[in-house]
Structure 1
Amino acid sequence: MLGAGDLIDSAALAEFLFKCQFKFGGVRKAPEGSPDPYHTYMAIATLSISPPPNSDESLQLAHLDVLWNTTEDTARWIREHVPVSARKSS
């Protein structure tokens, strides 16, 4: 889906995610399910990558660098301060 952001209806996606919120914390896979850490993380990441149009300040999340799975500021810091050889997986 990377590079296909113009195909996402951000408003509809956010509306669905809000229906999946659990009143005591967390996000569920579907409105009738149970919240779990995986779907909570994915919901936050989704709203960071594709925020709904005209969202208020409470939805202004730091932009996510999807390659590094971290904020763009942190990814930039890693590129500037961590040697390439240390970033390669074994």
Structure 2
Amino acid sequence: MSVFQSVLSFSDPPSISQSSVAAIAILKRIIPFLDANKYPLLVHAFPYLTYVAEPSRVRLDYALFNTTDVVVRDGNLGYKNLFDAMVDSVYWA
């Protein structure tokens, strides 16, 4: 099964991510099934589309894997690209 990043109600920083209310009811039934059968949960994560939606908030180099700087700090974790932050957001949620 695959889901879009929109299953999260918020995801910045990743450690405070939560599933949206609409997604929780469905995910609570699907995730145990996937886990019991050792199937993956795939996530459609498109960093560039996040940048396009919020160019004043998201740096282009962060969305395109072109920075060597830590752009987002979340506790002990530092994110140099938006993709890694998006994936961790799903794990946290």
**TM-score (norm. length: structure 1):** 0.25
**Larger strand fraction of residues:** 2
Compare relative contact order (CA 8 Å, sep 6+) and give the higher one, 1 or 2. 2
Structure whose CA Rg is larger? 1
